[in-house]
Amino acid sequence: MTGVQHPEKYSADPRVSAGIIKKAQSFPEVLAGIASLDILRESPSHLANVDVGWKDGPQYENVAHEEWPKHARSVLVLALGHPRQKPKLDWWDGKGTAGNRVLMSVAKQLKQWFGEKLGQPAHPLPYHVEKGGVFLKDAAVLAGLGIIGKNNLLVTPEFGPRVRLRAMFLEWSLVPTGPIDWFDPCEECSAPCRQACPQKAYASGFYARGSCMVQMESDRTNPVWDDSDGSKQSMVRYCRQCELACPVGAWPQGG
């Protein structure tokens, strides 16, 4: 799964990747890594032929590959910490979440930086796979940001699973920054994440998407009213029990 499979494609100097990561990580609570698009194309989720539509979303099989721009070679993955003490970052206000808006703004600023400083195009990706995006957890693992944990989420050393992701396509064949082999926090863990699920979505030993969906649907139909910024707004607080229960995370107060 590493660059070893296609060494001839990774021509750029690793210092270029390092410089890009440094710039991306200069934004507060942002982690960043680089994955190869060729390898991501063959990652478990991209090969899984899943219907990623939620609610009334479209059905499709692996169409995402065709929609990726021809010149894209690498994926810059951005992870924004969503620490326990900032729950509102993940509240859905009908248009999006505050955390996602931060990530979109970081991607926009990075796009400008790529053009001005590196003379390179960079393409912020849509969130949804069916709109030309990527499976973000797979991309993050391949970019070295963490591993897939027992809760079926990306678990990072810094924030545990409490991150939200976005990505950008780059046209350079850059040296990937992952995957990593020194981080395996779930191995010895008794998996409180699995016990915390209100729908027992892990009862079979694997994550059951259908059970998780039941909870998401219930959350969607039970919004709360938030008037902390002066305008009363209906907010959906999607369940996060499987990430909040995870003990991993080295960032302030365990993220």
DSSP states along the chain: --GGGSGGG--S-HHHHHHHHHHHTTSTTEEEEEEEHHHHTTSTTTTS------TTPPP-SSTHHHHS-TT--EEEEEEEE--TT-GGGG-B-SS-BHHHHHHHHHHHHHHHHIIIII---EEEPPSSGGGT---HHHHHHHTTS-EE-TTSSEEBTTTBT-EEEEEEEESS-PPP----SS--TTTT---HHHHH-TT-TTTTSS--HHHHHHHHHHHHTS-EEE-TTSS-EEEB----HHHHT-----SGGG-
Should residue 248 be labelled a site residue for ligand B12 when binding is judged by CB under 6 A? Answer: no
Neighbours of 240 (CB within 10 A): 17
User: What is the closest distance, in whole angstroms, from the C-beta atom of residue 245 to ligand B12 in the complex?
Assistant: 11
Q: Least CB distance from residue 121 to ligand B12, whole Å?
A: 21
CB 252, min distance to ligand B12, A? 18
Q: Which of 83, 144, 161, 176 binds ligand B12 (CB under 6 A)?
A: 161
How far, CA to CA in Å, does 253 sit from each of 16, 30, 158, 159, 204?
Answer: 33, 16, 11, 10, 32
Q: Is the peptide bond before 179 cis (omega within 30 degrees of 0)?
A: yes
The correct pick among 110, 122, 143, 153 for binding ligand B12 (CB under 6 A) is: 153
Query: Total number of residues binding ligand B12 (CB under 6 A)?
Result: 36
Q: Between residues 54 and 184, which has the closer beta carbon with respect to ligand B12?
A: 54
Distance in Å, CB of 175 to ligand B12, minimum: 18
Here the tokens at position 94 are: 């009908």
Cβ proximity to ligand B12, 39 vs 174, nearer residue: 39
Residue 86 near ligand B12 by CB under 6 A: no
Q: How far is the CB of 20 from ligand B12 (least distance, A)?
A: 20
- Ranges within 10-69 binding ligand B12 (CB under 6 A): 43-45, 48, 50, 52, 54
Q: Is there binding between residue 240 and ligand B12 (CB under 6 A)?
A: yes
Q: How far apart are CA 176 and CA 144, in angstroms?
A: 8
Task: Please select the residue that binds ligand B12; options are 21, 242, 246, 248, rule is CB under 6 A.
Answer: 242
- For residue 70, the minimal CB distance to ligand B12 (Å) is 21
Q: Which residue lies nearer to ligand B12 by CB, 120 or 192?
A: 192
Residue placing its CB nearer to ligand B12 in the complex, 1 or 118 = 1
Q: Using CB under 6 A, which residues numbered 121 to 150 contact ligand B12?
A: 127, 129, 133, 135-138, 141-142, 148
Residues that bind ligand B12 (CB under 6 A): 43-45, 48, 50, 52, 54, 90, 127, 129, 133, 135-138, 141-142, 148, 151-154, 161, 163-165, 179, 207, 209, 212-213, 216, 238, 240, 242-243
